[in-house]
Amino acid sequence: MRLGTRGSALALAQAEELRRRLAAACPALAAPAQLETVVVRTTGDRVQDRPLSEIGGKGLFARELEEALLDRRIDVAVHSLKDLPSVLDGAFRLAAVLERADPRDALVTRDRLADLALLPESAVLGSSSLRRQAMALALRPDLDVRPLRGNVDTRLRKLDAGDYDALLLAQAGLQRLGLGEVGVAQPVERFLPAVAQGAIGLEIRADDAPTAALLGAVNHARSWLAVTAERACLAALRGSCVTPVGVLAEVDESGARLRACLILPDGSQPLAVERRGRPQELLPLAEDAGRELRRRATPAHLALLEN
């Protein structure tokens, strides 16, 4: 089985996590020759000098991996699921989701400050995410928020060099790189995570039943339910993976809860919805939440969604 991945340290760590889980679940795949990691360079990796929202969105991290699937150079595309569009081309399907890591955003500063409120006035905040930028400005309108691309190491070097006073990154990514103590995870009440943040998604060719069966052994049912609901909410809203929207679904023995928020890039006019119910009701509840957000959207929100 050939596992396709981007070449960043984080992407390779995620592919290695899949390799470990597959080898544990399917002993026949434990031999090194049975699982091959194939690095695929994507447009999102090559173009680092422009914001993602200007060059086509996070789908640019998936396009070349999908081409490699179609060309049969790889059998599985290993994604940070938050980077994968919520509606896939019919040639592909999401086959499995590994157990989700911490979905929260993390504040990273040189002094390990715990809260945006502790940053000095007009501090420079770096983030590549419109959602994070908007939610930060809603809390601190005085911040000088600047785009920041590149892998995690590059971003941390720019922080250390004094180019930025603070960064907002995914806590899951930091943990997977062994850097979990670098940042301070932020409450979801302030920073509602991106759709499927913290989850590793496994995309395959739609007609590849044997690979789907193998990947079923590593699928985490509760994570699958949560991220499928979040993606359904975004699809019903008709947003994309660069829309400033946060969605978080939580599932446990007592029930299911989904929260969603759409906000303008300057931090104004946040629209929030919440749904609660039984786990088996989560998917229709998520779709209903997305439709409600779209109904309540102002012309400014709609312009974002249709961009």
CA distances from 299 to 57, 132, 269, 296, 303 (A): 21, 21, 11, 10, 6
Contacts of 299 (CB under 8 A, 6+ apart): none
Contacts of 36 (CB under 8 A, 6+ apart): 1, 2, 3
CA proximity to 296, closest of 258, 247, 263: 263
**Residue 83 annotated among the catalytic residues of the structure:** yes
Contacts of 189 (CB under 8 A, 6+ apart): none
Spot the catalytic one: 45, 83, 105, 208.
Answer: 83
Question: Beta partners for 4?
Answer: 38, 77
**Residues taking part in catalysis:** 83
